[in-house]
Structure 1
Amino acid sequence: MKKYLGISFKLSLALLILCSLLFPLLIAAIGKAAPGGGDGETVKVNGKVVGYKNIGQQFSEDKYFQGRPSAVSYNAGGSGGSNKGASNPDYLQQVKDRIDTFLVHNPGVSHADIPADLVTASGSGLDPDISPASALVQVKRIAAIRHLPEEKLKSLVAENTEKHMLGFGPTTVNVLLLNIALDNLK
């Protein structure tokens, strides 16, 4: 019995040091080596932080590209989905309302042309990216408001389209970076 208590104590102490000290230090070191030093990648315009690259923001003005809706009002402190299933009547009404709002602000776009990511929130509620199709469906509206050629905006979307590492995952457009590039157009 005494033999097993000694082994148990030593094993518990070793795991305590490994799990409570060494592992957190390793993760912190990896975070410090990541872009942004573990604090997230800030996006600056003229030296002023305007947002974070990996956290979605709301753009409500029609002169900007709009991102995915958020179930948490873009609150990074409380990320999460709505937890409503596709058969939930409240959820279905919310998506229908988002479609109707989008159609009002984007005349000439049909219901079938609206990509799903423009009317459904992501699991975190903070997705900063949309699909290229979601950006392109908004080009006509923005071109009319900003008096820019549609081809110039389509090129801007193409320039801001990102392929994921090693070719895995969907092709995306970061809405914040796209809108900054849009504001920088001459």
Structure 2
Amino acid sequence: MKRPQRILTEEEWEHVRDTPALTLHKALILGLVDPVPNPSPMPEEAGAWVREHVWPRWIRVIDDPYPWGYWRWSNCERGSCWNCINGRCDICVHRQKGGPDTDSHPDIVHALDGRHLAPLLRPDDNPVCTWLCRCPCPKTGPIDTAEADPPAPAPAATTPPRPRPAPAGQEPLITLEDLNG
């Protein structure tokens, strides 16, 4: 079921920008900056109580640094790829790969201390969970390299890498200044 892209409010973007840079980088790669939740029978307040009082500490240690959490989202709930978030839809992750990734990894049953006990077996008729970038840009066709900068010579070891500019008329949503705080 294709759900639309989640549009973050300015307050939600501030919450994302307050994320430590390394964790924000991981969230961008995983598509967890703007996840799109499936309908849930549990209200958010009840979920927050469960996360605080029922989840073991090892799950909270991994989940808490992400802006919207890590363990709360399956692959099919992931949001936009980092290229589309930064206005570079011409190099959308799923356009580069020719399609979305299929999650072939089984869910794992964990012990209370986080050890993997066994794979959680799903019935054969259960659909495989996939992440398709939520951005409405086209995900097919060749990558448009007309607007891309030509490759630059390798920077000196003391020169930080420069971000590629967004295409004309598009503003990046996250800049290096935002990432570096």
Which band: TM-score by shorter chain? under 0.3
Larger Rg: 1
Task: Tell me the TM-score normalized by structure 2.
Answer: 0.25
Between 1 and 2, higher relative CO (CA 8 Å, sep ≥ 6) is seen in 2
User: Whose helix fraction is larger, Structure 1's or Structure 2's?
Assistant: 1
Task: Tell me the TM-score normalized by structure 1.
Answer: 0.25
